[in-house]
C-alpha cells in the first residue's frame, strides 16, 4: 500500500457538529487522493467530564453523576442532530444511548464499590473517543464515504499500566496489518478511537491524557504510513506561546527531537510521546490547524535545513522546586539522590528538571504542582530516617518558581549561546534559581522566580530572534 496518510483530529477539531463536518471534509478530500486512516479524540472537555463523573460516582454523589450523564448524552445527540437526519440520525442517537449506558454501567459499579479501579476507569473513559468515532463515521457514511468506526482496543496492544500504558509495537503492528490494512486496501476509511488500547489479554487501557496524538503515531508506524497529519486548533508549533510573546511565529520545520523536547517542556501542541514510534521509519508529521487548513503548519522530520541554534522557548508556571541538602559533607549526596529518585519513580511523579552541586552535595528537582504532594511524601518517607536523625535538612519546597526551556538542535555547539540567554534574563532583573542543560544538547532548562517567568520568556525570544528565523511568520 503506497502513500498512506494517517490523520488525527483532536478534541477541538471534533468539538461540535461544525467541527466534525470540517474534519469529515478534510478526510474525504484526502481520501480522494490517497489511502487514509483517521484517529479521533473525544469532543473537547468530554474526557474531563467522564473522569469527573467517575470521581462523583466514587464519592456517592448520584445527582452529579446523573447530571453529567445527561450533559454527555445531550451534547452528542445535539451534534448528531445537526450532522444527520432520517434513519441515520435515529441509528446514531441509538448508538449514543448504548455507549452512554455502557459508561453508566461502569459508573454505577464504581459507585457501589466506592472505589475507582484503574482498569474500570480506562474502559469507561474510552467511551468519549468511541462516541466521536461513531459520529464522524456516520457523517462520512452519509456523504458516501465507506467509513468504519474501529475501537482501538482491538488494535493497539499495550502493557498493563492503566492510565498511562505503553504500546507493544510488534503485537500492535500485527493487529493493525491484519485488521486495518485490508480495509484500507479495499478503499475504506477506518476511523479509529484515539487514547485507548488493551493489554494482549484484552484488558482495556489508556495511553495517558492527551494520548490521541500518541495513538495516531503508533498506528502510523504500525501501518507503515508515509505521513501523519495532526489537526489541532493552532497553526503549528510556535517559537513561543503567543499569549506570552506577541511576536511568536510558527516554525516551518522542526526535528523530532526538538518537537519532543518542546512538548515535554510545556508546549501544548503535541503529546510528548508522539514522536517516538515514528523515529525508526522516519515518518514525517505535520501539525496543522483545522480552523485554517490552507496554512502549511509545521513539519516535524528527522533532520531540518535550518542552521543550528535556539528555535523556540517554552514555559511552565505550575511547578515547584524541591531541594534536599545534607547537613554535613560526610553524608553521601549521591546516595540520597539515588534514594529520592527511586522514591519518585515509584510514585510516577515526573521530574521535569534536576540539578545538583558537588561540594554541598545538595540537589533539587522540579515537579508539577499537582504532583508535588505525592512527590514530597514519597521522598520524605524514603528518607525519614536521615531526616529524623538530621543527617539531611528538612525538605525545602519553593512554589514560587517557573520553568523556562530554550530548545534547538546543536545549541551546545554554539559558543556564547548560554551566556546570551542568561544576560537577556538578568537584564530583566529576573532571578535565576537553577539551571539544567541536559546531555540532550538541545535544551537548556532554567528555573526562575515565578513573577519573572513571562518577562524572561519574552527576553529570551527577542535576544535569540526566534520570531524572525522561524520560517514563516505573522500568522495568528
Element (H, E) at 320: strand 312-324
> In the block, which residue shows the cell 515518518?
283
> In the block, which residue shows the cell 524572561?
456
Q: Is 318 exposed, middle or buried (0-12, 13-18, 19+ CB in 10 A)?
A: middle
Site for Mg ion in 204-263 (CB under 5 A): 210
Min dist CB 8 to ligand ASP, Å, is 9
> Measured from the CB atom, is 368 or 376 closer to ligand ASP?
368
Of 279, 286, 6, 7, whose CA–CA distance to 169 is shortest? 279
> Measured from the CB atom, is 166 or 356 closer to ligand ASP?
166
Total number of residues that touch ligand ASP (CB under 6 A): 12
Min dist CB 41 to ligand ASP, Å, is 3
Residue among 9, 11, 354, 403 that touches ligand ASP (CB under 6 A): 11
Of 220, 221, 175, 181, whose CA–CA distance to 199 is shortest? 175
Site for ligand ASP in 263-322 (CB under 6 A): none
Min dist CB 51 to ligand ASP, Å, is 9
As a whole number of angstroms, the distance between CA 97 and CA 39 comes to: 22
Span near ligand ASP by CB under 6 A; candidates 29-37, 66-74, 207-215, 337-345: 207-215
| Alpha helix ranges (H) inside 255-371 | 256-264, 276-279, 333-347
Please tell me whether residue 119 binds ligand ASP under the rule CB under 6 A.
Answer: no
> Measured from the CB atom, is 210 or 452 closer to Mg ion?
210
Min dist CB 112 to Mg ion, Å, is 32
The phi and psi torsions of 26 (rounded to 5 degrees) equal -60, -40
> Measured from the CB atom, is 11 or 272 closer to ligand ASP?
11
> Measured from the CB atom, is 260 or 444 closer to ligand ASP?
260
Element (H, E) at 38: strand 36-40
Please tell me whether residue 210 binds ligand ASP under the rule CB under 6 A.
Answer: yes
Please tell me whether residue 158 binds ligand ASP under the rule CB under 6 A.
Answer: no
Name the binder of 209 from Mg ion, ligand ASP, none, CB < 5-8 A by kind: ligand ASP
Supply 162's cell numbers: 492503566
| Alpha helix ranges (H) inside 190-325 | 212-222, 256-264, 276-279
Site for ligand ASP in 40-69 (CB under 6 A): 41-42, 47
The DSSP string of 351-393 is --EEEE-TTT--EEEEEEGGGHHHHHHHHHHHTHHHHHTTSBP
> Measured from the CB atom, is 190 or 194 closer to ligand ASP?
194
> Measured from the CB atom, is 209 or 339 closer to ligand ASP?
209
Name the binder of 195 from Mg ion, ligand ASP, none, CB < 5-8 A by kind: ligand ASP
First to last CA, the chain: 37
Please tell me whether residue 209 binds ligand ASP under the rule CB under 6 A.
Answer: yes
Q: Which residues contact 262 (CB under 8 A, 6 or more apart)?
A: 237, 254, 269, 270, 312, 314, 405, 407
Site for Mg ion in 165-184 (CB under 5 A): none
Span near ligand ASP by CB under 6 A; candidates 184-192, 203-211, 294-302, 369-377: 203-211
Residue among 212, 274, 290, 298 that touches ligand ASP (CB under 6 A): 212
As a whole number of angstroms, the distance between CA 12 and CA 18 comes to: 11
As a whole number of angstroms, the distance between CA 352 and CA 373 comes to: 15
Residue among 24, 211, 277, 467 that touches ligand ASP (CB under 6 A): 211
Please tell me whether residue 10 binds Mg ion under the rule CB under 5 A.
Answer: yes
Min dist CB 114 to ligand ASP, Å, is 25
Min dist CB 228 to Mg ion, Å, is 14
* Dihedral, CA of residue 180, residue 274, residue 140 and residue 234, to nearest 10: -170
Which position's Cβ is nearest ligand ASP? 212
Q: Is 392 exposed, middle or buried (0-12, 13-18, 19+ CB in 10 A)?
A: buried
Which positions lie near Mg ion, rule CB under 5 A?
10, 210
Which positions lie near ligand ASP, rule CB under 6 A?
10-11, 41-42, 47, 128, 194-195, 209-212
Amino acid at each position: 500500500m503506497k502513500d498512506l496518510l494517517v490523520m488525527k483530529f483532536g478534541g477541538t477539531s471534533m468539538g461540535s457538529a461544525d467541527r466534525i463536518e470540517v474534519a469529515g471534509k478534510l478526510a474525504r478530500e484526502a481520501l480522494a487522493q490517497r489511502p487514509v486512516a483517521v484517529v479521533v479524540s473525544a469532543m473537547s472537555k468530554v474526557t474531563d467530564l467522564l473522569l469527573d463523573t467517575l470521581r462523583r460516582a466514587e464519592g456517592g454523589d448520584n445527582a452529579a453523576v446523573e447530571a453529567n450523564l445527561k450533559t454527555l448524552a445531550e451534547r452528542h445527540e445535539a451534534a448528531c442532530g445537526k450532522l444527520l437526519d432520517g434513519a441515520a440520525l435515529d441509528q446514531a442517537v441509538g448508538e449514543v444511548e448504548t455507549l452512554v449506558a455502557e459508561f453508566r454501567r461502569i459508573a454505577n459499579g464504581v459507585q457501589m464499590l466506592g472505589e475507582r479501579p484503574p482498569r474500570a476507569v480506562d474502559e469507561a473513559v474510552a467511551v468519549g473517543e468511541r462516541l466521536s468515532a461513531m459520529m464522524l463515521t456516520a457523517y462520512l457514511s452519509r456523504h458516501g464515504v465507506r467509513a468504519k468506526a474501529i475501537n482501538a482496543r482491538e488494535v493497539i496492544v499495550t502493557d498493563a499500566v492503566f492510565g498511562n500504558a505503553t504500546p507493544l509495537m510488534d503485537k500492535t503492528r500485527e493487529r493493525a496489518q491484519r485488521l486495518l490494512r485490508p480495509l484500507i486496501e479495499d478503499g475504506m476509511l477506518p476511523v479509529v478511537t484515539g487514547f485507548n488500547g488493551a493489554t494482549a489479554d484484552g484488558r482495556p487501557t489508556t495511553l495517558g491524557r492527551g494520548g490521541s496524538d500518541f495513538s495516531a503515531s503508533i498506528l502510523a508506524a504500525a501501518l507503515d504510513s508515509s505521513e501523519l497529519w495532526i489537526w489541532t486548533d493552532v497553526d503549528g508549533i510556535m517559537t513561543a506561546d503567543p499569549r506570552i510573546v506577541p511576536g511568536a511565529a510558527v516554525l516551518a520545520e522542526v526535528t523530532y527531537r526538538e518537537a519532543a523536547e518542546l512538548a515535554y517542556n510545556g508546549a501544548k501542541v503535541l503529546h510528548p510521546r508522539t514522536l517516538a514510534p515514528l523515529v525508526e521509519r522516519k515518518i514525517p508529521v505535520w501539525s496543522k490547524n483545522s480552523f485554517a487548513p490552507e496554512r502549511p503548519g509545521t513539519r516535524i522530520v528527522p533532520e531540518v535545513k535550518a542552521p543550528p541554534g535556539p528555535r523556540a522557548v517554552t514555559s511552565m508556571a505550575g511547578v515547584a522546586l524541591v531541594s534536599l541538602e545534607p547537613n554535613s559533607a560526610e553524608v553521601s549526596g549521591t546516595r540520597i539522590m539515588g534514594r529520592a529518585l527511586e522514591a519518585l519513580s515509584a510514585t510516577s511523579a515526573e521530574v521535569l528538571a534536576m540539578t545538583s552541586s558537588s561540594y554541598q552535595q545538595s540537589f533539587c528537582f522540579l515537579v508539577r504542582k499537582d504532583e508535588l504532594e505525592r512527590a514530597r511524601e514519597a521522598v520524605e518517607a524514603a528518607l525519614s530516617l536521615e531526616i529524623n536523625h538530621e543527617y539531611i535538612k528538612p525538605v525545602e519546597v519553593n512554589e514560587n518558581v517557573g520553568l523556562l526551556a530554550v530548545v534547538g538542535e546543536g545549541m551546545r555547539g554554539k559558543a556564547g549561546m548560554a551566556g546570551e540567554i542568561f544576560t537577556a534574563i538578568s537584564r530583566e532583573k529576573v532571578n535565576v534559581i537553577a539551571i539544567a542543560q541536559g546531555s540532550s544538547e538541545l535544551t537548556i532548562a532554567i528555573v526562575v522566580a515565578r513573577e519573572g517567568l513571562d518577562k524572561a520568556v519574552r527576553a529570551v525570544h527577542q535576544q535569540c530572534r526566534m520570531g524572525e528565523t522561524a520560517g514563516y511568520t505573522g500568522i495568528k
